[in-house]
Structure 1
């Protein structure tokens, strides 16, 4: 496995797209069968795979996205430190790629949300996605942010005043988005938050009647 990992990293740094494919497949196989081997060079592996997500060759890009998903499935919270960077790159693929790449990117974002520390995923989505200028990115980020918020629950979300206020403002903004799906996710967030007294109070204090 150690040898295969070294070969995989070498293949990924090659200019030959077929070798890159081979490298990505090897990382994916290692994640499935020898995940512990990856831990000692996780940062390097994650960077190498993430770099290929933006490959102009869609086959390589798709493989990289799927491989990232596999890394998050098997390594879970060990991948916490990679979340911000990976989420940013995946969201970028949601609006400037062929449909099958967009779909894969959204699926891997879903995998990330399910497997890493929820607060890490939430911060990454809030920072990179829900305020993005592109409508599809906002929609995708809102969908996954709603999942994270439901995982954490309104009581815990209310625990950090600054974050609570930011979340509430975001939810209100999303509920007014130009895309109907994004509006739906925003309203679901608001509905969930309003189950908690603190958010009800916050809404009265911080959101003007005009926003509603």
Structure 2
């Protein structure tokens, strides 16, 4: 049994829980982080005191994208984790690209989700919305000639930005039309694990 530590509305936890569903790996998720706090025993597993952390057959691992790569290599090799290194790399690069996107989205997310209306910084939200739109335009172009970031088929490369795409569409910000991103997002919403674990309230 795979054990996942982390609160359900964390972007990074959503990645791992959703992907566990995709690979068919039974799991239990334990609440920690945010309002649930961080325990000393958790710090012993993850000295960064960040979420998520997993335990799988004795392996304790943290850093969400490292977890995804491990799960894909162990349980999804040849399908969700292509055997061909070049094919794998084409999808894999979007996993690291997501970190830059998360930085761009942070101010809009924090202001609109974590702050009261009276505390919000409208200028910071606008800057964040503009920055995310520029990055989504790159994603939109990448999806113009392929259905998935991973290539012809859904793969682990779609997971990190798949989680952040839901936030982009859910946040109350100005969004230019991105037809290829919108089509990709519609395909993601058809996946049961995505609907169950990603498309939940942002708060």
Give TM class, smaller chain. 0.3 to 0.5
TM-score, length basis structure 1: 0.32
Indicate the structure (1 or 2) with the bigger Cα radius of gyration. Answer: 1
TM-score by length of 2: 0.33
Q: In proportion to residue count, which structure has more helix?
A: 1
Structure having the higher strand fraction is 2
Higher relative contact order (CA 8 A, sep 6+): 2
